[in-house]
Every structure is written in structure tokens, then in C-alpha cells.
Chain A
């Protein structure tokens, strides 16, 4: 997608537009070739009018310097009428709703003469009736001879709107199918990959002791829209609770709320029977919550600091890192060496910066750190994302061992094999709500995939 829009260059292969090969260096080249992109996050200036936003960067000139707003307004009207977009050019963007803004984005691209539109997850921000309107608009565009590339995780939407579907998994094309010949179930299977490693049979270590109890947790965005809604669950000691869901359905917000990094409304939030809903993040961590963050570079590491300082991060109130208000260098360094050894972090020493390690080794360091100090609960967000296979297996082993020793784990992942293989209990999250409980012992990735994408019968 980035390559098609000229933001990134391909290593090999070629792109043909209308049969002739093209090469893009910048998005401007792509626009010149008639390819326009509608971004998932709108790129509009709120305080300008629709007209001003549309012409921004390609203003029509009159006599060299003056802007020809009249011509622009006329052109916008024409485009809007031709495709039935219903855009009003003189309204400030800040007064528009999400659906209208999206139409402005589409118009912006058309104004620049695009004949091929790339839409990146266009429905992610829309409510159902806006999705309907968008689909009507898209059908209108297609009738007028435009080509649309519609990128989405949501299978039902793809099936409804597309004339042809290409499934991409881990960067390769898996299949190209006709929506008339395929069911959402089959599509989910293609998306997920049917080759599932046999989930190993193992002893359940789940106890009766509840480690974390969450009741009616709701997280709202700044404008009051719930991104997590009335989520409730218990995790017992020795249990791995998996949360399955397509990314962006509230998982990140749920985790941040439990960590105390994001304000939320919650009925009950107890750790080992103690109410922690008013605790600070630091207190929650000190109280025994380990946290493997989704984005290790943003939340898990100080990239430009040595490994032993990273060992202290998030554990700066506890031994062996500190003695009172003082940093215990010797203690922290010795314990970093222990982690490096036990978790097989490949590094020439503990004084190199975290940035110099590979992703897998960075992640092993984080896992080792978060397992230190006898946590009661571990929140593992995508613990093996972007990690090589060897490190992945090692991290899984560590999680299993800790679980056997009585650790409660909240596992969030987009990797269905990982979820099914590790979890004792599985819940499916969709648009911020828990929509299904699944038994990992009896579920297939296809069934799970359907449930995650809301593609119908559930499980």
C-alpha cells in the first residue's frame, strides 16, 4: 500500500498502470499516475473550509499569484455532483461529522485527478449507517469508471463491496477469489491460514484463586465514544486468558486501563482481592502486575540507554534495582546479567544500548524483566510480534512455565495459533465488547477468525 502510493520503494517487481509500467519516488508521482490514497486517519485542517482543504497544495492560480477560489468551487461542485458525494464546499471542516470528512478526503483525491483510489480501513471510524453511505458512494464511483482498492480486516464488508478479493497474509498474496464463490468462513480460513500446529495437550494448571477480577470496564475516547464497553472477566492463578480480536477493537485501551495508564469507568477492579481501581500505574506494577507492552519501542524500552538501565525501567521502586532513593547499580547490573543468561538475550554485554539488539532479543529482555519480582499477573500484549521463530518459542516456554508456577496471564494477540496454543480461556473482542467465549481446546482458527471479524454465526 505504501509502495503503491510512492511512500516506500519496492525491492523488486513492477507496478503497471493501464498496462504501462510506472515507478514512484514520491506520493506526487503516484498522484500524477492517477493513484490517490484516502488515509485511515483523516488529514484535514479543522479550521479551514472544505474548499480550502481540498485545494490545499494544488491551488488553482489566476494571474500568477491570486487564488482562483471560484474555479475551485465550481470544480468541487462538479465532482461532488458527478459522484453523488454531497459535499458542501464552504463549511469549515470542524463542523463536519466523520462520514462527511471521509467524503472530503475522497473528494480531495478525485480533485487531483485520481482514477485509482486506495482506501485504507475506511470503515474503522464509521458507524453502521455511515458505512452504508460510504458503500453507496463507492458504488457510484465504480459506476463512473474508477478503480477502488479497499483494504479492510472486516470480512463481511469486503464480501459486500468488492468485485474481487485478494487475501494477503504476512506480506504475501495467499489467494485471489471472487466474492460470489466464497463464504466468509472460507475467507477467514484463507486469512488465518489453515495449517495450525496441533495445540499441545497439557495439564491444566488453573486454580480456584482469582488473581484479577474486572467488572464492567468502559473506556471512552475524548468525545465520549466508548472504545471498550462493559468488559468483565476473571483470571485465576495459573490461567492464561486470551483475548482474540482484530486489532483496533479496544484491546490496547483495555490493557492501558488495567495498567492505570488511561482513565476508565470500572465496576470492580481487584488484584488478589484488593481494590486497585484507584491505584497509580507505579503502585499497580509494584503490586505485582508485569506488563509486556504492545509496542516495545514506545512503551517498553529506553532505546538509547544501556540494557541494565532498561532492567530498572518500570521496576524503579523495587530491589534489586534500588536501595531507598538510590539506584543500586551493582544489584541492577547483576540482575540484568541473570536475565541475559536465563532468557538467552543475545548481546555482547549489558552496557550496550537496547537499540542495538534485534527485536527478538529486546523482547526477551522485556519478558525477563517483567517476570522478575514474582508478578501475580502478567499482561502480555502481542508478546511475540516481530520476533524470530527461535525467540518466539522461547517466550512461549517462559509463559508456560510461569503459568505452571501459578502466574495469571492476560494474553492479547493477533496470532491465532499463539492464542489457541497458550490460552486456557479465550474471549473474543469486537468493537470494544466481549462478543464470545471460546473453548481453545475445541476451536479452529477458522471459527475464531469468523468470530473476530463478526462474520456471522459465531462459535
Chain B
């Protein structure tokens, strides 16, 4: 009864080793396809992959991969919250950028000292992200506007609003870079010397990301709210009949997704650039969508996906040393996502058949237990 979309978005469980088999198959498949492309371009795939692997295992690169991965992971979590109940928050991108602009402006003004300033910046970012996402939730509930459309539109509006805020109100010109006033030194998030053998520190937000991942899992799997959210995602009709207020769930879930989205820019803002300028990373929201698909909304799966993505992004420049276009990495990323979706679908079908067979085998003893209905 579950649709292809349910399975694609990971609202259907996969048990045990099967859950691991699918992404592994997908990555292997992506490597194969990429090799074919490389061969077609007259390059040596073995050399290319060795270069990528060599680069990715150096301590310095590992720290950098982790730092980018933290942002990707938070973005994936924000997207996944919506996916779990059939909400497509395409607006994560606009939500985090607008949140970062306003939080950066406030942090730069240094209205509070030290740690208080950090907390203020984070809280403001979360609130701005949540409010921006709430617009789409309310439009959906009260006006029936698809959240896909409204969040895409809101992305464009957020871009305009952000530029206006920076150029007219919050921005200062440093050299020829227009950005918000830098956040003072006492309000920087300290880095962690997590990886030995390199002076590059790991962003302190890695801790926040891990906590968020745990919170995501606990809320979804262990609370009544999470149960209602998942039930709504699996079957809206059954949720309605069970007394779940779907409208309320839509608004609350959008707000939650936007709140998490508000955090995406924080590692960069409080741990790296300390201001919002033209160089602030863009497009993280869309990366998050790909990673949520890749990790099937599973907190561990998404962590692996975020690191894989970050590894490919960070090491792509190395390929230029071999005179290989770094865009080959984008082909690989695309193929990974597509093949992971196909692999999950195949694994899912296998699992359904296997489980039905198991159930009828275990029930076969007492009487003819017709199991045909389960496929209906």
C-alpha cells in the first residue's frame, strides 16, 4: 500500500542488513558509472579515485570535511523533519540564509557580551528560520497553497530581503566586501582540536550537530508528537481517523523544520567567517535535500551521507591536478542519489516479499492462512 514516494522518503522501514546494503550498492554503482564517464573522457579512473581517497584521508582534509559536513548534516535534518510527514520544505535554503543575515547583524552589534551574544545569535537564527517557514505552513493550512511552491517563492524573497538588509541596514564595507559587522572575538564559537596531526580545528558546532541528531531521533521515535508526525506521513487518512489534527501538525512541523534550518548557517557565522557577506555559503538547503534522500531521513544515515557529500566537495579540486574537471564529482553525487533511490526500492520489494513469506510460513501450521490480501 505504501507509495513509491513513501519509500523514497524513508517513511517505510527497512530491517537490519538490508538498510545498509542499499546505500553500499548505490555507492558502488555510482563509482562504476563515474568510471565509465572518466574512461569516456580518456582519463584513468583508478588514478582519480586514488587521488580522492589520498586527499580525503589526510588529517587536514578530514577536519575540513567534518566542518562542511556539520552544515550539510544540520541542513539534512531540517529537510528530514518535513519529509517524515510528507512536507516538502524546499525553503530550507531561504530560511537559513535569512536567519543568518539577521542573526549576524545582531551579533555584530554586540548588544550582549561573550557567551550571551552567542546564545542570542543562535536563538534569533532559530526564531527567524521558524517564522519564515511558518509562513509556508500557514499558507498551506489556510489557503491550500502547496508548500513546495510557497517555499520556493519564499526562497527568492529571502534572497532579496537579505541583500536589502545587508546593503541598506546591516552592512559595512571591508575592502570591497560588503558584509555585516564582524561578531566580536569574545562571541566566537571555540573550535575543537578533534583530529590529531593538523592545526585545523573542528568547528564547535559538531557537538550541536550530534545533539540535534539525537534529539531528532528521540522526538520522532519516542514521543507522542513524533508518533503523530510519522503517522500523518504514513497515512493522512488514518491519522485523521485517529484524532490527529493534520492542520496543526503541518504548521508545527514547518516551524520545527525552519527552526532547525535557522541553525545551518551558525557553524560558519560563529565558527569561521563571523559575518554574513557575499562569501557566505549558499545552496546548503538543496544539499540538505539530497542528503536527506541519501540517508533516508535516518539520523545515522544522514550523517554518513553528509560526510560523503562533504568529502566529494572538498576533494574535487584535487582532480584538477590530474587535469580532470572537478564537475565529475557532481556527476558522482547525482548518480549516488539516483541509484540510492533505486536501490532502496529494490531492497524494499525484496523485504516485503520476504516478510510475507516468513509470516505465512510461520502461520502455515494451524490452517491455510491466506496471505494474499497483504499485497492488495
A residues near B (Cβ < 8 Å) are 259-261, 280-286, 291, 293, 297-306, 309, 312-317, 322, 325-327, 329, 346-348, 352-353, 355-359, 386, 388
B residues near A (Cβ < 8 Å) are 1-2, 6, 11-13, 221-228, 230-231, 234-235, 237-238, 240-245, 352, 355-356, 358-359, 362-363, 366, 369-371, 373-374, 376
Q: What 8 pairs across the A-B complex have the smallest Cβ distances?
A: A282-B243, A314-B242, A299-B241, A281-B243, A348-B362, A298-B237, A303-B1, A359-B373
Chain A positions within 8 Å of B370 at CB level: 358, 388
Q: Can you report 26 residue pairs joining A to B where beta carbons are below 8 Å apart?
A: A282-B242, A282-B245, A291-B241, A297-B1, A298-B235, A303-B2, A303-B234, A304-B6, A304-B234, A312-B227, A313-B231, A313-B238, A316-B224, A316-B242, A322-B224, A326-B222, A326-B224, A327-B221, A327-B226, A329-B222, A346-B366, A352-B355, A356-B371, A358-B371, A358-B373, A358-B374
Query: Please, how many angstroms separate the alpha-carbon atoms of A316 and B226 in the complex?
Result: 11
Residue of B nearest to A285 (CB): B243
The answer to whether B359 and A357 touch across the interface, beta carbons within 8 angstroms, is yes
The answer to whether B223 and A300 touch across the interface, beta carbons within 8 angstroms, is no
For the complex formed, measure the closest distance between the CB of A176 and the CB atoms of chain B, giving whole angstroms: 31
Query: Please, how many angstroms separate the alpha-carbon atoms of A455 and B62 in the complex?
Result: 81
Query: Please, how many angstroms separate the alpha-carbon atoms of A285 and B228 in the complex?
Result: 15
Chain B positions within 8 Å of A317 at CB level: 224, 243
Query: Please, how many angstroms separate the alpha-carbon atoms of A153 and B93 in the complex?
Result: 55
Residue of B nearest to A256 (CB): B241
Known contacts A304-B6, A346-B363; is-contact A314 B243 (Cβ 8 Å)? yes
Which applies to chain B's interface (DSSP): helix, strand, loop or mixed? helix
The answer to whether A309 and B227 touch across the interface, beta carbons within 8 angstroms, is yes
Contact of A302 among B222, B234, B356 (CB under 8 A): B234
Query: Please, how many angstroms separate the alpha-carbon atoms of A299 and B244 in the complex?
Result: 12
For the complex formed, measure the closest distance between the CB of A315 and the CB atoms of chain B, giving whole angstroms: 8
Contact of B369 among A291, A352, A358 (CB under 8 A): A358
The answer to whether A293 and B223 touch across the interface, beta carbons within 8 angstroms, is no
The answer to whether B238 and A298 touch across the interface, beta carbons within 8 angstroms, is yes
For the complex formed, measure the closest distance between the CB of B227 and the CB atoms of chain A, giving whole angstroms: 6
Query: Please, how many angstroms separate the alpha-carbon atoms of A303 and B230 in the complex?
Result: 12
Query: Please, how many angstroms separate the alpha-carbon atoms of A260 and B243 in the complex?
Result: 9
Sample of 14 further A-B pairs with CB below 8 A, known A302-B238, A355-B352 = A281-B243, A282-B244, A300-B238, A300-B241, A302-B235, A303-B235, A304-B2, A305-B234, A314-B241, A316-B224, A316-B228, A316-B231, A327-B227, A348-B358
Chain B positions within 8 Å of A329 at CB level: 222
Chain A positions within 8 Å of B242 at CB level: 281-282, 285, 313-316
The answer to whether A261 and B241 touch across the interface, beta carbons within 8 angstroms, is yes
The answer to whether A327 and B237 touch across the interface, beta carbons within 8 angstroms, is no
